[in-house]
Structure formats: C-alpha cells, structure tokens
Amino acid sequence: MTQGRLIAVVGPSGVGKDSVMAGLCEAMPRLHLVRRVITRAPALGGEDYDAVSVSQFEDLAENGAFAVYWSAHGLHYGIPITVIDQLNTGTDCLVNFSRKALVEAAAIFPNFLVLNISATPQTLAHRLSARGRETEEEIAKRLAEANKPLPAGLHVIHLANDGPISQTVARGVALLQPASV
Ligand SMILES: Nc1ncnc2c1ncn2[C@@H]1O[C@H](COP(=O)(O)OP(=O)(O)OP(=O)(O)O)[C@@H](O)[C@H]1O
Ligand SMILES: O=P(O)(O)OC[C@H]1O[C@H](OP(=O)(O)O)[C@H](O)[C@@H]1O
C-alpha cells in the first residue's frame, strides 16, 4: 500500500495554522490530525497537545518516542513515532510543524508535503494580540521570526490566510486533493 502523505503545516506564529488545520480536518474526515507532545503548560488552547515536563520530554526523545522533534520559542515539540503506523495504513496525516525541522522530515517521510500558510505582518500582529496566549514580549519575539524562509528543494503548496477562515479552508481542501499535488 502507498504510504499516506505527511502534510507539514508551517507559517509564522499567529498565521492560523491550528485554525486552518481544524477546518481541513472537519472538511476532510479521512485526514488524521497529529497530536504533538509539547513542554507547554496544559490546556493553554490553540491546539490539543500532550503536555509534558522538560525531563519527561528528554526521556521520551532518548527512548525513540518521536519521529521528529525540535525546539522553538523556549519550548520542545515532538511528533510521536506512531505517526509512521498511521501513514503505513495509507492515511494522510496533518501536523503543525517547524520550518527548521522540514529538511530532516523530508528525509524521513517518503511522501512529504509542506503546506505553507501566510498572512500580512499586520494580520499576524492583530491575531496574536487577540489570541492572548503569549505576553507582549513573547509576541514581539514571534513576530520577529515571521519572515523565516523555507529551505529549498521541498514540495510546497502555498495558502494565504488573510481572508475569512472558511475561504482559506475551501482553497486548502482543493489544493490538497491528491490529484492536484
Ligand atoms: N482567517 C482568519 N480570520 C480571523 N481570525 C483567524 C483566522 N485564522 C486564524 N485566526 C485567529 O488567529 C489567531 C491565531 O491563529 P492560530 O492559533 O490558529 O495560529 P497558529 O499559526 O497556529 O499560531 P502559533 O504558531 O502561534 O500556534 C487565533 O485566535 C485564531 O482564531
Ligand atoms: O518558526 P518555526 O520554526 O517555523 O516554528 C516554530 C514553532 O512555532 C510554532 O509553535 P506554536 O504552535 O506557536 O507553539 C510551530 O508549531 C513550531 O512548533
């Protein structure tokens, strides 16, 4: 059986990755949303994640619990190794990713696709403030990293999210049809 696609969703903080992913999963019920392991306090919103301490995270990483992991914004993020079992059933998997982990992941997953979400700097600043998950200082740091370029040589599809979320999701569904990518 052909392995499912690992669809890595990237884009600057506040661009709407989690919101777009939730909309895509609702519209495409066969898409599997990967639950990340994060060293963030539990239930801070934005996404459903498995909250762990730094030492728990380090133990998990050492014991091979992650297919890929990275650090950003003072936090550690891991993609459970069980994603490979999902992909092996032919299921497409959607995961909130880091731009800095893309090259490593492209070498691991044979059917790897990047969904790059964008929005204007004004949109990002407004959304991060309105979301209220981070302090103003943390928000400023996140905005400073907004223009990080993507590495070359990847299969990337681009999706702007400045307009209403429903429009973004509809365009995303069309772009993710296996025949179009
Ligand atoms: N198209 C949209 N229109 C209006 N608000 C939006 C839209 N997309 C997302 N938002 C809002 O913007 C805020 C940021 O969205 P979200 O948390 O999904 O971004 P993110 O890219 O996952 O951010 P981070 O990487 O920091 O977790 C949320 O409050 C969300 O409700
Ligand atoms: O800037 P880059 O490296 O692309 O992404 C870094 C991290 O930022 C976001 O984290 P969060 O969901 O805002 O906690 C991404 O999901 C990723 O884990």
Q: What ipTM was reported for this prediction? A: 0.93
Q: Is the CB of 59 under 6 A from ligand 2?
A: no
Name the strands in the sheet holding 75-80, side by side, starting at the edge strand that comes first in the sequence.
Answer: 50-51, 37-38, 75-80, 66-72
Return the ligand 2 atom nearest residue 70 CA: 18
Task: Check residue 181 and give its pLDDT.
Answer: 53
Give the H/E segment covering residue 106: helix 102-108
Residue 78 annotated as lining a ligand binding site: no
Cβ–Cβ under 8 Å, residues 93 and 4: yes
Short-list 38, 42, 40, CA closest to 138: 40
CA-nearest residue, atom 14 of ligand 1: 14
Report how far ligand 2's centroid is from the alpha carbon of 150 (Å).
13
Query: Does the pLDDT at position 25 exceed 60?
Result: yes
pTM, two decimals, is 0.93
User: What domains are defined for the chain?
Assistant: 6-180 (3.40.50.300)
